[in-house]
Amino acid sequence: MTLTTDNRNVRTAITHSVRGHCPSCGEGKLFRAYLKQVEHCSSCNERLGHIRADDGPAWLTIMVVGHIVVTALVLALATWDAADWIFMTVFPALALAMILWFLPMAKGLFIGIIWATGAPGSETDAKPVQP
């Protein structure tokens, strides 16, 4: 089963955007800075700047990184007999590194889903709810 919405393949859009490329063509860059997306794709001129992922990427990053780091910390505490300062420096550093690595991919995931499903992406594009 292929998820498509108005000739937009959701799986392809997610694959492109998680890699930091335009969800439409997969050629242009999605971000012009660490987490700041471009207004338009440099290859296909697709409008991307209006799409707002809001808190979704932060939530997903916390859920994924938190589960991995806390599990690793509990296992390390149970099996290693190391000084406390090692645990108090290594695991926060590990968490920070994983957050910085994962957050752009999470934002790309949300932007890809929003773009592919045709969701409004911003308050100005939203249609009023009919009573």
Between 26 and 7, residue with greater pLDDT: 26
Strands (E), the chain: 4-5, 8-9
**Contact (CB, 8 A) for 28 and 44:** yes
Q: What was the pLDDT predicted at 1?
A: 41
Average pLDDT over residues 109-118: 92
Which residue, among 44, 33, 42, 47, has the nearest Cα to 103 in the 3D structure? 33
pLDDT in tens, 1-15: 455 555 688 999 999
Which residue, among 38, 127, 72, has the nearest Cα to 30 in the 3D structure? 38
pTM, whole model, 2 decimals?
0.83
pLDDT confidence band for 25 (50 / 70 / 90):
very high
DSSP alpha helices (H): ranges in 27-83? 56-79
